[in-house]
Structure 1
């Protein structure tokens, strides 16, 4: 009996040690999937990327440092306040156009939204464009970001994430060579355009707290709404 108990304990010890070693090896290669590792724009988005981006709210310095580390060209916007403080921001940045890529109009968004856009462009939008069309996106067309207004059709007094520059509405994409893909014109069609739009919508769910598309309601029939609402690291995607 004593020998059996000793053998059982030895087996459990070896088994637990093997599990620990396997987890260590996996974790070393997947830091983006661990909640306690810092966010890095050089790594693929993982299970806790949204959680880490959510932690940037209120920490403008750390958020800007990430943009600097990613060599993102941006300018800090002066703080804005409106409607007695219900609207406005103090962590706004304007993304500057880089050679071969830009936003029209230029994206002026909260810093956490800028982080999401950085990851989305590089890890989702450009790979999807190359896969479906064999050429990159050179411009993202938007309906803008900051707008001091409540949620359309929402409860009275509930302000939109746009009221804090914490959202951006994407209307379409311009490919190298001039071809344009629009949410309004291509979402309901068959073919590469619709497949591309759904792929970039689905991929955005790893970088944004809220992603709303024409599949959500008629109000979003012509754009993708991307925001970094406070959801504790969870994502709502439709």
Structure 2
């Protein structure tokens, strides 16, 4: 009788395990972005491993460019830049004017590392535009920035760790322009409350799923006028810092 009971328990455990596997497969079969071993698809909704897969592109420029093309993003490849031992990049791209599925940046000469460009595109489609519709009933038609590449250490100090800007692996976003003429500024609107402040916090938090580091005015005064977004392997402050 004891042996029969044990056999039944084993069978029940196996059935539960099999059922759990089938449920998981059913849940993720249309969401490959939720699996760590599937190839990244920038056109898919953000999944559990999307951000880590984008960060992993720092070592594969060819794959990053291929993923941009597959997602319908038009871009130009920037010539390599080298300045000393710590500064420069070899994987720079710039969104092409009027490129498919991209919005305008101001100034228009924004060049970033390819992984940052990939994260910016996915951020716009899945975070920024939905948030603009939610809070303003409008589209974002332009993003104002403070630049990407800058050969400097963190905070411009004379010593210490080098900034992710030194390799174009970061971009500082200052404001958003909407189709209804509204302008949402990090410097002006972050602390005012209302829909603009809610929008800014929503796009900040949404960016944390795609960028290694996201720093806002909540972090310190140095970020009072922008959102710092970087796609370093671990980020300036550690993996997945969101402040």
TM-score of the two chains, using structure 2 as the length reference: 0.92
Cα contact 1:96–1:102 (8 A) shared by 2: no
Output one character per residue of 1:39-94: Cα deviation in whole Å (capped at 9) or x when no partner.
Answer: 11121112211211121112100000010011111100000000x23100000001
Q: Which runs of 5+ in 2 are unaligned?
A: none
Tell me if 1:13 matches 2:14. yes
Tell me what 1:205 maps to: 208
Alpha-carbon shift at residue 12 of structure 1 (Å): 2.0
The yes-or-no answer on 1:87 pairing with 2:90 is no
Report how far residue 9 of structure 1 moved. 2.2
- 2:133 paired with 1:127: no
Match of 2:106 in 1: 104
Q: Deviations over 1:119-150 (max 9, x none)?
A: 00100111111111111011100001011111
1:101-126 per-residue CA deviation (whole Å, 9 max, x = no partner) reads: 30011220000000100000100111
Secondary structure, aligned partner of 1:173: strand
Deviations 1:8-61 (A, max 9, x none): 222222222212211221221332222111111121112211211121112100
The 2-side partners of 1:111 and 1:7 are apart by 55
Structure 1 segment 26-105 matched on structure 2, within 5 A: 26-82=27-83, 84-98=84-98, 101-105=103-107
Output one character per residue of 1:128-174: Cα deviation in whole Å (capped at 9) or x when no partner. Answer: 11111111011100001011111116682411100101100001011
How many Å separate the matches in 1 of 2:213 and 2:6? Answer: 53
SS in 2 for 1:29: coil
Q: Which consecutive unaligned segments of at least 5 residues does structure 1 have?
A: none
Report Cα offsets for 1:200-238 as digits up to 9, x if no partner.
101100110000000000000000000012229941110
Equivalent residues in 2 for 1:161-200 (5 A)? 161-200=164-203
Look up the match of 1:235.
Answer: 240
Q: Secondary structure at the match of 1:57?
A: helix
Deviations, residues 180-204 of structure 1 (Å, cap 9, x unaligned): 1100000000111111111110110
d(CA) in 2 for partners of 1:121 and 1:29? 22
Whole-angstrom distance in 2 between the partners of 1:173 and 1:75: 23
Deviates more, 1:52-61 or 1:92-101: 92-101
Q: TM-score, normalised by structure 1?
A: 0.94
| Contact persistence 2:58–2:232 (CA under 8 A) | no
- State the partner residue of 1:25: 26
